[in-house]
Amino acid sequence: MTQNNRLTSGGRINRNRTVNFRFNGKPYKGFEGDTLASALIANGVSVTARSFKYHRPRGIVGQGVEEPASLVELEGSDASGNCPITTVKIHEGLGAKSVNCWPSPEFDLGGINQLFTKFLPAGFYYKTFKWPNWHMFEPSIRRAAGLAGAPAMPPAEGHFEARHAHAEVLIAGAGPAGLMAALIAGRSGKRVFLADEGTEAGGSLLSRNLTIDGLPAMRWVADTVAELTAMENVTHIQNATVWAYREHNLMIVNERQPNGKSVLERSWRVRADQVICATGAIERAMVFTNNDRPGSMMASAVQSYVNRYAALPGKKAVIFTNNNSAYAVAADMAAAGISIEAIVDSRKNVPSDVTGLVTGMKVLKGHVVTAAKGHKRVKSVVVSSISGNGSQTIKCDLIAQSGGWNPAVHLFSQSRGTLKFDEDIASFVPDVPAQPTLSVGAANGEMTLAQALSSGAEAGAQVSGGASTETPKTNDAPYAIEPLWRVEAKGPKGKAFLDIQNDVSVDDVHLALREGYTNVEHVKRYTTGGMGIDQGKTGNINIIGTVALQKGVDLQDVGTTTFRSPYTPVSFGAIGGLREESVLFPYRHTPITEWNHANGAFMYEAGARWRRPGYFPRKGESFQETVNREASTVREKVGVYDGSPLGTFELKGRDVGKFLDFIYTNVMSNLKPGNGRYGLMLSEDGLILDDGVTFRLDENRWMVSTSTGHADAMNMHMEELLQTEFPDWEVMITTVTSQWNNATICGPKARDVMEALGTDIDLSPENFKFMSLRDGTVGGIPARVVRVSFTGELSFEVNVAPRHMRELWQKVMEAGAQFGIEAIGSEANHVLRVEKGFLSLGHEVDGTADAYDLNMGWVMSKKKPDYLGKRSVALRRSSGKTRRELVGLLPEDPNRAIPEGAPLTPGGRKEATEGLTTACVWSVVQNRWVGLALLENGHARHGEIAHVRLKDGTIPAKITAPVFHDPAGELLRS
Amino acid sequence: MGYNVTINRQGLSALFDLKGKKGAMSDHAGGILPVFPDQHNTYTQSAGSTLFHIGRNHWILRGDISAEDTLISTLKPDQAPSDVSIVQVSDTLTFFSVVGADAAQVMSIACPLDLHSSVFGADAVTYTEVFGLKALVLRQEGGFEFAVEQSFGDLIQDYLDRAIA
Amino acid sequence: MLRITCPYCGSRNESEFLFGGPVGTERPDPNTTSDADWIEYLTVKPNPLGPVQERWWHARGCGEWLTIWRDTRTHDIVEAPNDTE
């Protein structure tokens, strides 16, 4: 006994394909083409949800994205939360369950809230759960609210995709207006992007029995779609919601289940010259007591179920309207066999062109429904005259209500276009656009099919630079409405809902106004009306109407709240696209990456996205043992590391020397070719930007190296100065970071390794001095060898083209084997530089210390009248305030490590800090922990005891000079 | 299943970064280079070399890797006058080709720039973004070619494998 | 995501650019200017409600530094106001 409420013929469903699905654990059958909502209606399921706050039983209210009452959570491989029941296509094996109820919507324990509704007024949560803070209560309230959980597992198959697209015309909505606009623009050759949220094109025509040029309107739709499909300049996608309208006509579209199984959802970021909003209109509810009972539906939804899905939502219906559109619905319902008990129209005068559609039916003019009766299903309605006289009860199991139509202005409003209240249709329509956008059809308040077609054609012609063509003849009735914001006639007591999704009633809005929340934006936040996934689709205009009535002002003066994206819910996966797992963040490799992996390196990111080896653990070694071994190797024998990531630039031009003198604190212009110098770069406000070594290659060619992490920022900095401050200076910069890789060989045996490698460069200390550079061959490979040192030991940085890097590395390992060479990672490098007191950006160079604080006053040129940052450093120092200065720390207990970043306080007391520990390592030369710190007045305090303050005590440490190895620097010059 | 494309990560090209005023560049290397493109973000070709005009006073010369030594000896980067910068950058870029019926679709996943033939023609080349990285993108027979900083090559291969999975 | 016109490459996605901040006053001669004027130069940047002149770097493009006027209320890229050069 299934699908008892299915008509025997008609509808856009495939009766040859039965689909099995489960809802709240029970098995059902539907047909291909059904939504979950239409299939459940065909099966006679009435209660499909419980409400958000009061857990009232709710049924299906709408037929599309506007559905306010029934949200479901999909199960299994479809796992997804908070889907309107009307937008879920059924397929074999689909499983879905209601949100907001436990154990089921039929029997919901949370329904007990209904008994306490007077204690759950608007603002209840704000008022009640504010001490000590909301977050303490949030988890349990969220659980009670029962919104769907996030899927626990990634989809078993397929992936999300995000694409970019470009169009001369983007059209949102493939209803009659959108299709017509697309057709005209497409024929003119424009690049058109047409996206529609439905599974099929046609919009309202899918649900209405109308004709165009005497033929069924869907014939016109099919012909139009076929013509568009044949146009190469038109991209037409269905099942694709335009959910965001961003600045400069960037539209974001979410396409569900695009063709091709491997893509689950596709996000399109479409940049359009022109946008046409053909998003239609959404029917609004009537506001009467118990207007939320299952069986109380939007008239247009009833029409859709009857015509499009051949499913009957009820047997005996009352229609309640204040406008013309419900009369065609009544005619279609009657034709499908639903008994129309009465048409209740709040208007005293109903135009004859619509009463003609319902000949023989009972029309109660100037009447209103004051209340629905029944709990889990409507059983009857109470009707009276609009002034409250002559109350009568009419039995029915279905209420088809129409409070008028709201143009779907969401996208237009997101684009910052303003809205105005249109008295003719009693709703808000687009007024002044803020971006190149046109609104057509019902989205522009043009409510008839004829108007939709002609406004679509005009817009299509306008964006194509042509004139409007003749539009087809149609047969729908004219539209007219007399607004009814709420039923005022007295009837049975109960709640009359404005926003069904958020359980906001007329009383809640009145309460908000009484408590002083009179601005419509405040009403929204106090009551939560129009928030969440509803985003003002069904309830907003009635809330504004209610506020206007209560304040005695026009709706225009109340205004609307801001519509926000997304228009409908969007998966995070679709927004992220391919960006997950290994490509979630970018990464860079050097040619040695494979070797590092093969040799057991522990790899991590170390600046500018480079993945580098942290250390090379051997079997049975602890972390500290590995680092100690690597550091000792460099101090006692020889080590090698891959220094390729260092930022490197080649500078060319007559004015490079002058330029470098301006951006560095010291003088570079007097360097001789082949020689280099360490330099410090400041920003104009005197803070240290970067440090590095600069070499002069010849008269007009220079090589500048920067720290790894700051390479891009230095490039930006230098280009900005050259292009905006010194456009006449002859300086040209080329980034060569990836043209050079290097193996840096360091340690007392470094020269032996170089000799074993074989080189045509004279390596003797007198002919190849520290801070100089030679071009030649090393191990038969063309190389540029640089004598710099980041470890304090004798070092040769052997630079080669990346194509030769693996070969070089292999040769270094072979040649170095007899000297005990080992590869070292970043951790050992850190130890070696701390032992030498070399600076590290982000540690000692922390955005407050200047060169003097760091014992580098020598780098601040006195001779140069001006360079970047000079004035600011002088200005700051002229205040005479004590500075935090770089010192060394020796913990009194040599085996006690200081956590990096730990604060120093006077005497270790609970006082304002006087500094912080910037680094602390186990020194392999001192055989103890040593640290560096920035300490107030530190230079004058050598020999004193400083105190590191921790949660569980203090660490006393002796203050020393910040160098623990070879203070004279003899080794690195050797 | 996936897209109808062939993706190739290519071997090295001989690449030279050329900076300076067109007149000065022409005086120093005009005889070696293809004709200078007269439009921004386009390229010209001759005798196996391609000249990309990709910025103000900025070109990239691309040749076969086998011609690299010859190009160095004729371009003479070391002997260029002070107002001409010629830097060998062969190793800095990794090129990928994306060719086939769905090449444009795959590129639309990677690149936010409009690569439609009406705006990105047969001789078009430009620096833009590919998977969020700076990349040199050009049109080629049956599809596109693009280059990213060499150290990002593995990442881009990873991305492309995912895109066409 | 704005569209920004590079004088060399034409209209491009904002993601190709890095923001270089509003265009401030000209750098005073650091050897003659007063402390107060130097501090003013360093710290007081234009921040109007309306059109502001600002620099962007076409970092993932041709490398051009460019100057535009952007209306901070609407993100519209606008012509330079009449009262400025």
What is the tens place of the pLDDT at every residue in A721-779?
Answer: 999 999 999 999 999 999 999 999 999 999 999 999 999 999 999 999 999 999 999 99
Yes or no, beta carbons of A736 and B87 under 8 Å apart: yes
Percentage of residues in chain A having pLDDT higher than 90 = 83
* Omega before residue B34 within 30° of 0, cis: no
Residue A104 has pLDDT above 70, yes or no: no
8 A C-beta contact, residue A736 and residue A660: no
Residue A448 has pLDDT above 80, yes or no: yes
- HEC assignment per residue over A544-579: HHHHHHHHCCCHHHHCCCCCCCCCCCCCHHHHHCCC
Place of tokens 């082949």: A674
CB pairs under 8 A between B and C: 42
Q: How many CB atoms lie within 10 A of CB A271?
A: 22
A582, A590, A734 ranked by CB distance to B89: nearest: A734
8 A C-beta contact, residue A688 and residue A849: yes
Give the count of alpha carbons within 13 A of A782, CB side only. 6
In CATH terms, B13-91 corresponds, of 3.10.105.10, 3.30.70.1400, 3.40.50.2000, 3.40.920.10, to: 3.30.70.1400
CA distance A49 to A68: 10
Yes or no, beta carbons of B128 and C60 under 8 Å apart: yes
CA distance B124 to B135: 14
Residue C85 has pLDDT above 50, yes or no: no
The domain defined by A285-403 folds into FAD/NAD(P)-binding domain (3.50.50)
Which residues of chain A are in CATH 3.30.70.1400 domains?
647-735
What is the tens place of the pLDDT at every residue in A535-594?
Answer: 888 888 999 999 999 999 999 999 888 888 999 988 888 999 999 899 999 999 999 999
B41, B112, B133 ranked by CB distance to C9: nearest: B41
Task: Find the range with the poorest average confidence among A93-107, A113-127, A207-221, A340-354.
Answer: A113-127
Residue A144 has pLDDT above 60, yes or no: no
Mean per-residue pLDDT, A136-154: 64
The secondary structure element, H or E, covering residue A814 is helix A805-816
Residue A239 has pLDDT above 70, yes or no: yes
* Residue A722 DSSP code: I
Could you tell me the pLDDT band of residue A117, with boundaries at 50, 70 and 90? low
Instruction: Give me Rg for the CA atoms of chain C.
Output: 15
8 A C-beta contact, residue A84 and residue A566: no
**CATH code at A497-558:** 1.10.10.1100
The domain defined by A159-282+407-464 folds into FAD/NAD(P)-binding domain (3.50.50)
B6-10+92-163 belongs to CATH 3.40.50.1820: no
Yes or no, beta carbons of A246 and C31 under 8 Å apart: no
pLDDT of residue A1: 45
Superfamily of domain A647-735: Aminomethyltransferase beta-barrel domains (3.30.70.1400)
Percentage of residues in chain A having pLDDT higher than 70 = 95
Residues of chain B with C-beta less than 8 angstroms from the C-beta of C61: 126-128, 134
8 A C-beta contact, residue A594 and residue A695: no
pTM, rounded to two decimals: 0.93
What is the tens place of the pLDDT at every residue in B148-165?
Answer: 999 999 999 999 999 998
pLDDT of residue A124: 62
CA distance A86 to A65: 7
Yes or no, beta carbons of A684 and C39 under 8 Å apart: no
Place of tokens 């070797």: A595
Give me the residues of B, 134-153, that contact C with CB < 8 A.
Answer: 134-135
Is A377 exposed, middle or buried, given 0-12, 13-18 or 19+ CB atoms closer than 10 A? middle
CA distance A383 to A320: 10
Look at domain A1-152 and name its CATH class.
Answer: alpha beta
Say what the alpha-carbon torsion angle A689, A690, A691, A693 is, to the nearest 10 degrees. -120
The mean pLDDT value of chain A amounts to 93
The domain defined by C3-26+36-78 folds into Folate-binding fold (3.30.2270)
Which residues of chain A are in CATH 3.10.20.440 domains?
1-152
Query: Cβ of B17 under 8 Å from any chain C Cβ?
Result: no
Angle between helices A520-527 and A506-514 (to 10 degrees): 120
pLDDT of residue A404: 97
Q: Kindly identify which residue of chain C lies nearest to residue A416, measuring between CA atoms.
A: C74
Which residues neighbour A295 within 8 Å (Cβ) at sequence distance 6 or greater?
A: A46, A59, A313, A314, A372, A374, A377, A378, A397, A398, A399
Q: Are β-strands B133-140 and A945-950 bridged in parallel, bridged antiparallel, or unpaired?
A: unpaired
Residue A105 has pLDDT above 80, yes or no: no
What is the tens place of the pLDDT at every residue in A820-831?
Answer: 999 999 999 999
Q: What ranges do the domains of chain B cover?
A: 6-10+92-163, 13-91
A260, A586, A739 ranked by CB distance to B152: nearest: A586
Residue C44 has pLDDT above 50, yes or no: yes
Residue A349 has pLDDT above 90, yes or no: yes
C1, C35, C38 ranked by CB distance to A250: nearest: C1
pLDDT of residue A415: 95
Q: Kindly identify which residue of chain B lies nearest to residue C17, measuring between CA atoms.
A: B128
Q: Are β-strands A795-800 and A741-746 bridged in parallel, bridged antiparallel, or unpaired?
A: antiparallel
Query: Phi and psi for A191 in degrees, rounded to 5?
Result: -80, 110
The secondary structure element, H or E, covering residue A651 is strand A647-652
CA distance A845 to A839: 7
So what's the architecture of A593-615+638-644+739-820 in CATH? 2-Layer Sandwich (3.30)
pLDDT of residue B37: 97
Distance from CA of A649 to the nearest CA of C (A): 15
CA distance A688 to A18: 71
Q: Kindly identify which residue of chain C lies nearest to residue B133, measuring between CA atoms.
A: C60
> Hey, CA dihedral for A490, A495, A497, A498, is it positive or negative?
positive
Identify the three-state secondary structure at position A434: coil
Beta-bridged to residue A922, according to DSSP, are A929
Distance from CA of A703 to the nearest CA of C (A): 20
Distance from CA of B1 to the nearest CA of C (A): 31
CA distance A45 to C43: 67
Distance from CA of C43 to the nearest CA of A (A): 9
Stretches where chain B sits below pLDDT 50 are none
B41, B134, B135 ranked by CB distance to C59: nearest: B134
What is the tens place of the pLDDT at every residue in A647-698?
Answer: 999 999 999 999 999 999 999 999 999 999 999 999 999 999 999 999 999 9
Q: What ranges do the domains of chain C cover?
A: 3-26+36-78
